[in-house]
Amino acid sequence: MSAPHLAFVLAAGQSKRMRSKTPKILHPCAGKPLLRWSLDAAIAAGARPVVVLSPEIEAAIREILPPGTAVAIQSTMRGTGDAVRVAVEASDARGGEVFVLYGDTPTLSPSTLERLRALRAERGAALALLTAKVGTENGYGRIVRDAAGDVQRIVEVRLATAEERQLPESNLGAYAIDLAWLRDAIARLAPNATGEVFFTDIVAVAIAAGKPVAAFCTPDPGEGMGVNTRVELAAAEMILRRRIREKLMLEGVTFHDPESTQVDDTVRVAADTVIERGCVLEGATVIGADTRVGPYSILRDTTVGARCIVEASVLEGATLEDDVRIGPFSHLRPGAYLEQGVGMGNFGEVKAARLRKGTKMHHFSYIGDADVGERVNIGAGTITMNYDGANKHRTTIGNDAFIGSDTLLRAPITIGEGAMTGAGAVVTKDVAPGMLAVGVPARSIKKAEKKIKT
Ligand code: UD1
Ligand code: MG
């Protein structure tokens, strides 16, 4: 059996170039903290991560770590070489392979890591690293090759000569390494003229010891790019968002004008659903099949069933069963639960309320903290007055009730099955099943006694 595969993910450092009070690796990127991308890529490639953190950020970062991630603390930022030494000392695995990754490379793909692993095995190399030809206007370490084309060392831009800075190939900073060899070799890294220990010097250490080094130069633009500034953060986010949309398209989701829509990595969409232009799909959102979302809708942590239509609306923490129609211009807030066939139209808001099967609420209404039965009609301008200034109260409306236009329902209140309210009623007392409540404040009368003139 092969030894367990590890990934050392470096995430200490000061991230000064972000000019932010938030640590760089906690900045969101396509719906996940930056650091999660490197960790998730390592896990997807079959490795167990050991993340190197500085003591100041440890507590904040522990919260976003995937289960099973080990933590090693680098107490003083002495450079990436020192950070790897900390990880080596914190792990007790002796043999096998380790990926050394940086916490600021969100576009690094699991398939690239697998490629590095395969390349190292194929060449019998101590180390395989990821490179790219991305021009010379960047801060990446430069790859120095000998006349035969073999990698000799990496020179950091800060220490490079003008000539070395023009070298066409850059270090993207992902490495697959023989762990037993690394345990021994890490002690041979020394501080350089900047006072830091650069992990990149590990290549020269390998070459000096006669160990082969392999490099995979990715042809994929943007793959494994480093994020040191907010400009690079935005560029990486664009790449990730394009990949997320393309994956969904290949799974059968149609996007109208894909560039105008942003979808988090955490969102799931079923086949034959259409996402129209200008949508934002965030968090734990799940969308069923044959549904149409947009144009211009925001869905956050929301579950949408099959065959729904959600047009120009904002849905947060809501659940829609199948065949629900929302919008345009509806707002669903946390705890809104719309059962099958519910229809909700212009300028409606629902919060912490269940609308049962077939209920319609088409215009200008607010339903909060409520349980609304099946086939209820909520007339235009109906408001549940759920808040008395101190507490929230619930409204219950029975099946087949008909709530007239402009009804105010002062909670706590129950409207019985099949009951009705007249237009403009201010209902302050429960209405029994089958009764009609009219007036301000409303009084209940038997429906049959009252003929509504039309
Ligand atoms: C590094 C590489 C560079 C490569 C680039 C790719 C080195 C010396 N340079 O440069 O060759 O082209 O990444 O993106 O490795 N960190 C620690 N402890 C430290 C210092 C840094 O954990 O003492 C962590 C940081 O949090 C970061 C990662 O290591 O996630 C890389 O550090 P960073 O300062 O971003 O290095 P780059 O200048 O980008
Ligand atoms: Mg970096």
Ligand at shortest distance from the CA of 174:
1
| Angle formed by the axes of helices 34-44 and 110-123, nearest 10° | 50
Residue whose CA is at the smallest distance from ligand 1 atom 26: 11
The tokens for 328 are: 């345009």
Cα→Cα distances 176→100, 350, 394, Å: 6, 52, 59
* Backbone dihedral angles phi then psi of residue 362, each to the nearest 5 degrees: -95, -25
Cα→Cα distances 170→55, 134, 348, 398, Å: 31, 7, 54, 68
How many residues can be counted in the chain?
454
The tokens for 438 are: 């009219």
Q: Is 131 in the pocket of ligand 1 (CB under 6 A)?
A: no
Residue whose CA is at the smallest distance from ligand 1 atom 23: 79
Residue whose CA is at the smallest distance from ligand 1 atom 22: 12
Cα→Cα distances 274→135, 289, 290, 383, Å: 39, 9, 7, 33
pLDDT value for 84: 98
Tell me: domain 241-447, CATH 1.10.8.50, correct?
Answer: no
Ligand at shortest distance from the CA of 141:
1
| Structure confidence by residue, pLDDT tens digits, 243-300 | 999 999 999 999 999 999 999 999 999 999 999 999 999 999 999 999 999 999 999 9
Q: Is 199 in the pocket of ligand 1 (CB under 6 A)?
A: yes
Q: Is 54 in the pocket of ligand 1 (CB under 6 A)?
A: no
Q: Is 10 in the pocket of ligand 1 (CB under 6 A)?
A: yes
Yes or no: say if 212 and 125 are a contact pair by the CB < 8 Å rule. Answer: yes
- pTM for this model (two decimals): 0.91
What is the distance in A from the centroid of ligand 1 to the CA of 102? 6
Closest by CA to 99, choosing from 199, 203, 212, 8, is 8
> Radius of gyration of the chain from Cα atoms?
30
| Structure confidence by residue, pLDDT tens digits, 124-180 | 999 999 999 999 999 999 999 999 999 999 999 999 999 999 999 999 999 999 999
The Cβ of residue 79 has, within 10 Å, a number of other Cβ atoms equal to 25
How confident is residue 448, by pLDDT bands cut at 50, 70 and 90? low
Identical fold, 6-217 and 241-447: no
Q: Is 226 in the pocket of ligand 1 (CB under 6 A)?
A: yes
Tell me the C-alpha distance between 173 and 77, whole Å: 18
Which fold is adopted by the domain 6-217? Answer: Spore Coat Polysaccharide Biosynthesis Protein SpsA; Chain A (3.90.550)
What is the distance in A from the centroid of ligand 2 to the CA of 420? 65
What is the distance in A from the centroid of ligand 2 to the CA of 102? 7
% of residues, the chain, pLDDT over 70: 97
What is the distance in A from the centroid of ligand 1 to the CA of 227? 10
Query: Which residues are the active-site residues?
Result: 363
Tell me the C-alpha distance between 290 and 331, whole Å: 22
Q: Domain segments of the chain: what residues?
A: 6-217, 241-447
pLDDT value for 453: 55
What is the distance in A from the centroid of ligand 1 to the CA of 310? 44
SS3 157: helix
Q: Is 173 in the pocket of ligand 1 (CB under 6 A)?
A: yes
